[in-house]
Amino acid sequence: MDILYIHPAKQEVEARYDKFRSCPPYPFIPVGVVGFVNMLRAEGYQVRGLNLPVELLQRPTFSLRQWLKSQRILPKLVLIDLHWYEHSFGAMSVAQTVKETLPDTTVVVGGLTTSYFGEEILADFDYVDYAIRGDAEEPLRQLAAQVVGKGSSQVNDIPNLIQRPGSGQRPEQNLGFYFADAATLDSLDFVSMDWLSNQRAYAALQYSGAGLMTLRKPKLLSHWLTVGRGCVFDCIYCGGGKESHSELAGRNGYVLRSPEGVVEDVARLAKEGFQQVNLSLDIATYPAKWWRAFFAQLRNDGIRIGIYNEFFQLPSNDFIDELCKTADLAHTEVAISPLSGDEEVRRKNGKFYTNERFLRMLETLKKYEVPIFIYFSLNLPGETPQTFKKTLYLADQIGKTYPHHLLRMLNPCHTLDPMSPMSRQPDSFGMNVQFTTFRDYYDYCKGTGWEPRRVVRGQHRGFEMASRPTRIVEQMAQIWDVFAQAQQFRCFPVPRGW
């Protein structure tokens, strides 16, 4: 083995999910990882991958430290994703374990959270050697050549790489800059997962819908597939919006893969027995020419597979018609986030449609019997006990009109996302912000990996509304829980963890 990729859990590397009640371990691998791992394999490197939370769920006594020691050929380069802030503690726990076990191995972290906090991570955590800001394909190609192969360039010339220039000096990013264009994305293999331990269990974990999920003998398989990068929106709670991608990755809006390239990948998944494909971006927000070509080619090629798509805004009726003519609806699900029943609150948070339009769209989905997952958000700016009554009313309307066996609904609390407009401009939203540094997120994740006996929903979220203290959020959560318990569809209580 030349290179090892590890996806961390939210919790520490020795987490015992069989003994204690954990908060979600966040087991999903960032979709871009699949592409650059397969790129490195195509370069001739021997690459293996571990999804640590899946390993721990499969084998509660799994020891990363012992596993590393048992390898016949030790990796020279270890890649750890720190994309979502929920892995801030877990990623550092993995890095520390790797460095203590294999002190001569080079440890690299990357992802959106790394891109924002890269210099701070290197300044405070000695067991991380390098961080990558933005897209990682070319930086990893060159770094792997340096560490594992026979690279001709100098580390100082590798684009997007953050390093320690010398003893006592603050970490800084190299001058070169790189981001992946559409042609590069289409050239990558975003499907092959044979390098990942317990790959079928992970495929089962990705399935979204009504089916029973089993990891040990999975029957329902899904795969998160890269269909592009970037975003064209700036929802105030999201750290992966247009401005963040512009600042951290040099991207302005979407970089779209070709519909033909995506169809080829979907065909591979269908041939390999997958029942569902999860699309990494909302293709309903792509140009109509793109998704019309995508659906038409799927039909022309006789490819019928379930599709999971998260609608960023409301789709057109034409899109819904095309989706439902093409997808295997038994394994399809769409996610929609109205966030609040109050239209002004919804608009303030980046969703631009009325309740009337939303309910009309549900009628179109209902006609085709499409499974849906509705997301509200209990603690976003503007949601108060008064506006919350409108949320309950809208949720009740949905439950009374949509078939119960096709409906799931959740109303969680948001945590402050680094680089989100809420984080960058808290005064604009009447907020007091508590999380501003990587250490803040590290401490938050370390302290919220396991459910305490008593939970106050809205607490430890990195922010508080000046006009809505946390105790009010808990009162709203209790009201929602009563509502949820009374429903005949799958309406979940407000999560008691983070």
In the chain the first and final C-alpha atoms are separated, in Å, by 35
Q: How far apart are CA 369 and CA 206, in angstroms?
A: 22
**Which residues, including other chains, have CB under 8 Å from residue 454's CB and lie 6 or more apart?**
none
Instruction: Verify that 18 and 73 share a domain, yes or no.
Output: yes
Top pLDDT among 160 and 453 is at 160
In a domain, 304, yes or no: yes
**CATH (domain of 121):** 3.40.50.2300
pLDDT at position 212 is 52
In a domain, 360, yes or no: yes
Q: Provide the mean pLDDT of the chain.
A: 95
Q: How far apart are CA 119 and CA 211, in angstroms?
A: 43
In a domain, 180, yes or no: no
- The tens digit of pLDDT for each residue in 40-96 reads 999 999 999 999 999 999 999 999 999 999 999 999 999 999 999 999 999 999 999
pTM for this predicted structure: 0.96
Complete DSSP assignment for 32-101? HHHHHHHHHHHTT--EEEEEHHHHHHH-TT--HHHHHHH-SS--SEEEEE--SGGGHHHHHHHHHHHHHH
Instruction: Verify that 216 and 169 share a domain, yes or no.
Output: no
pLDDT at position 170 is 86
Number of domains the chain contains: 2
Instruction: Verify that 241 and 168 share a domain, yes or no.
Output: no
In a domain, 185, yes or no: no
Instruction: Verify that 140 and 266 share a domain, yes or no.
Output: no
Instruction: Verify that 431 and 487 share a domain, yes or no.
Output: yes
Q: Is 218 a residue whose pLDDT tops 90?
A: no
Decide: 290 and 282 in contact? Cβ < 8 Å: no
User: Which two structure tokens, joined as six digits, stand for 86?
Assistant: 């929920």
Instruction: Verify that 161 and 252 share a domain, yes or no.
Output: no
Q: Name the helix (H) or strand (E) containing 172.
A: strand 172-173
Instruction: Verify that 311 and 210 share a domain, yes or no.
Output: yes
User: Which two structure tokens, joined as six digits, stand for 143?
Assistant: 């770094």
Please compute the mean of the pLDDT values over residues 237-266 and round it to a whole number: 95
In a domain, 181, yes or no: no
Q: How far apart are CA 223 and CA 276, in angstroms?
A: 7
SS3 256: strand
Q: Is 483 a residue whose pLDDT tops 90?
A: yes
- The tens digit of pLDDT for each residue in 313-351 reads 999 999 999 999 999 999 999 999 999 999 999 999 999
**Which residues, including other chains, have CB under 8 Å from residue 356's CB and lie 6 or more apart?**
none
Instruction: Verify that 304 and 413 share a domain, yes or no.
Output: yes
Instruction: Verify that 214 and 156 share a domain, yes or no.
Output: no
Look up the domain containing 59 and give its range: 3-134+136-173
Instruction: Verify that 217 and 110 share a domain, yes or no.
Output: no
Percent of the chain with pLDDT over 70: 98
Please compute the mean of the pLDDT values over residues 124-142 and round it to a whole number: 97
- The tens digit of pLDDT for each residue in 17-49 reads 999 999 999 999 999 999 999 999 999 999 999
Q: How far apart are CA 466 and CA 456, in angstroms?
A: 17
pLDDT at position 154 is 85
In a domain, 200, yes or no: no
205-219, 226-240, 384-398: least confidently modelled range: 205-219
In a domain, 420, yes or no: yes
Instruction: Verify that 289 and 410 share a domain, yes or no.
Output: yes
Picking from 123, 155, 173, the residue at the C-terminal end of a domain is 173
Instruction: Verify that 252 and 121 share a domain, yes or no.
Output: no
**CATH (domain of 354):** 3.80.30.20
Q: How far apart are CA 207 and CA 267, in angstroms?
A: 17
pLDDT at position 209 is 83
- Fill in the amino acid letter for 57: L
Return the ∠ at Cα 30 (arms to 29 and 35), rounded to 5°: 105
Q: Is 448 a residue whose pLDDT tops 90?
A: yes
Decide: 33 and 182 in contact? Cβ < 8 Å: no
Of residues 272, 339, 328, 278, the one with CA closest to residue 302: 328
- The DSSP letter of residue 340 is -
In a domain, 325, yes or no: yes
Q: Is 381 a residue whose pLDDT tops 60?
A: yes
Where are the strands (E) in 261-304, listed by range?
276-279
Picking from 150, 173, 196, the residue at the C-terminal end of a domain is 173
Quick one: pLDDT band at residue 423, thresholds 50, 70, 90? very high
Quick one: pLDDT band at residue 284, thresholds 50, 70, 90? very high
Quick one: pLDDT band at residue 216, thresholds 50, 70, 90? low
Please compute the mean of the pLDDT values over residues 273-295 and round it to a whole number: 98
